[in-house]
Chain A
Amino acid sequence: MTTESGVELTGMTLHPGSAAGSLLRLDAPLSFWGGSELETGRITDERHPQWGVIMAGRILVMHSGRGSSSSSSVLAEQIRAGVSPAAILLSEPDAIIVLGAIVAAELYEKSMPIVLLTHTEIDSLTEVIPVQVEATTGDATVRGVVPAPAALTVERTSTR
């Protein structure tokens, strides 16, 4: 749950890493292949609600990706080129997205964190606020970095 005072969520690490950036909420699943530009990380799917938005450096929030397995290659390439999201928060353990991050880590030692939250938690992340993502083996935290007088903690009830 987000409020003006901050956000703190605990999820499951799908791929480890740490990142900071502002949240970018996608209102529909994205296919990285055919839906985003290799060189810039811009969303190019004209039917996507966030068409034209640049994902580079943002903490991407969506329930799941969709479509072709070639999206793994596209995401790995965007991580290599430094134009990928800084982290991705999902409510489905999307294998195509996670594979892109695994291979980028194997090849380039760049680890883009991917965190599994609940469907409700993903739905709650609607505001464009800066957050810090720390994903270690096992648990992951997503924490608002705005000074928060009364940070609200939401307990995770299930992993999916």
Chain B
Amino acid sequence: MLDGREGPAVAMAMRIVVALARLRDARRLRPVASAHLDGCLHHGQAGLDFVERLVELGGQVRIPTTLNVGSLDLLHPNLARVSKSDATESRKLMDAYVALDARPTWTCAPYQVGHRPSLGEHVAWAESNAIVFCNSVLGARTDRYGDFLDASAAITGLVPDSGLHLSENRRATLVVDCGGLSDELKSSSVLYPVLGYLAGRVAGTEVPVFTGLADARPDEDKLKALGATAASAGGVALFHIAGVTPEAPTLAVALGGRSPHEVPTVVVDADAVRAARNSLTTALGDDIDAVSLGTPHFSLNEFRLLAELTIDGDAFDPSTEVWVSTSRAVLGQARDAGYLDPIEQAGATILTDTCTYVTPVLKPGTRVVMTNSGKWAYYAPGNIGVDVVFASLAECVASARVGRVVHDDRIWR
């Protein structure tokens, strides 16, 4: 491939893969079965020049490849407040990735639109929440790919055989003991981004294994929220939950032969989760201007839950914007299932193909936003300069109805 016999785009992509393999001391390259690319967000001219060069040189992905969010909602182009020139650049970037023959899924949750590699399969995924979900929940193997390397892997079908592709790097290196938390907390969705925040803080880029959660049988949405927040607050790319995730049927298996005494243990109690929950909130008062849901992108099941909460209640306060970010594929499923009507009738706006913290959609003057997303709570203050109130989905809905924060603290006591 390096010699150009497969074309100049493959040679360019291969130079990048090989350079990274050298840097990581990889003994060899490894074929990957699929890719998820995260280059579609506009960060200046170089990102666009890179993909346009690949297209110009005849580049095509050689494995099934999905695309992450872009900077625009192509289905609802009037929602984002971007200048015409920025919109043009963002559109060119998104178009160039499609020209590589990648699927225009425009979602940070490819695992919700049918891109689900199997246990043990090697893939090249970018976007931190997608990476951690792929490794932890699906048990497929990806290292932390990102800008330039993701597209190079999709074009060559090869990655350096290093990092989380190797079994020895997938063993848990830290135990997070959640056994002391109440059953009510463990069965509630709002706990999982909080656990992710705690784990991200203590684990950094280590591999944590959670214990004491097997009986609660957390579903995919909870695992998605845990991973996304752990990847934001730390650099977690793989976690295990003993008795729940595929590479951790037991604690012993997750530890890969080491005894629990050989690795550090962090005990998470009610005080710790309460403190972590509070630190995800930066706003001081009770006023809110908006509610943002769907980071990572809302799943069909989350639309069902939101529909149940909105179908028989009052509409949202007209001064409180309610945003739900999702993929165009899940939007279609939610519409077909009848979940969308009550949500839109209550006053929510659905954003597709992008997300509320990467492109300006909130109305000017928005100061405080409520969210059930730990990832959104972590990034939005820095990215778009708002204060955040972190709470459960039900609290977000109750608050949107009255235009101020309504907390339900019972489970945290």
Residues of A within 8 A of B (CB): 14, 33-34, 38, 68-74, 76-77, 79-81, 93, 95-96, 98-100, 102-104, 106-108
Contact = CB atoms under 8 A, between A and B. Distances in A.
Given A69-B147, A99-B20, A77 B126 contact: no
B114 interface: no
Given A68-B146, A69-B126, A98 B23 contact: yes
Contact of B12 (A34, A76, A106): A106
B24 A95 contact: yes
Contact of A80 (B12, B24, B45, B128): B45
Contact of B147 (A38, A70, A79): A70
B15 A69 contact: no
A12 to B, nearest CB: 10
B23 A14 contact: yes
Interface in B1-55: 12, 15-16, 19-20, 23-24, 38-39, 41, 43-47, 49-50, 53
13 contacts: A33-B43, A69-B147, A72-B147, A73-B50, A76-B148, A77-B45, A80-B45, A80-B46, A95-B23, A98-B19, A99-B16, A102-B148, A106-B16
Contacts of A95: 20, 23-24, 149
Interface string B373-394: 0000000001100000000000
B147 A99 contact: yes
Interface in B224-239: none
Contacts of B144: 69
Number of chain B interface residues as a range? 20 to 34
Nearest to A96: B146
A72 to B, nearest CB: 4
B53 A107 contact: yes
B38 A69 contact: yes
A34 B232 CA distance: 13
B44 A38 contact: yes
Nearest to A107: B49
B164 to A, nearest CB: 14
A104 to B, nearest CB: 7
Contacts of B298: none
Interface of B: 12, 15-16, 19-20, 23-24, 38-39, 41, 43-47, 49-50, 53, 126, 128, 144-149, 382-383
Contacts of A103: 16, 46, 50, 148
With most chain B CB atoms within 10 A of its CB, the pick from A14, A76, A95, A98 is A95
B158 to A, nearest CB: 16
Contact of A38 (B39, B41, B43, B383): B43
Contacts of B44: 38, 73-74, 77, 80-81
The 6 lowest CB-CB distance pairs between A and B, nearest first, are A69-B146, A77-B44, A76-B46, A77-B46, A72-B147, A73-B43
Contacts of A96: 146-147
Contacts of A104: 46
A34 B383 contact: yes
Given A68-B146, A70-B146, A72-B148, A102 B19 contact: yes
Given A68-B146, A74-B43, A77-B46, 12 more contacts: A14-B23, A68-B128, A69-B149, A70-B43, A72-B147, A80-B44, A99-B16, A99-B149, A100-B147, A102-B16, A106-B15, A106-B50
Given A73-B44, A103-B46, A93 B146 contact: no
Contacts of B12: 106
B43 A99 contact: no
A81 B45 CA distance: 9
A70 B47 CA distance: 9
B17 to A, nearest CB: 10
A104 B47 CA distance: 10
A158 B30 CA distance: 29
A76 B20 CA distance: 16
A135 B45 CA distance: 27
Contacts of A76: 46-47, 50, 148
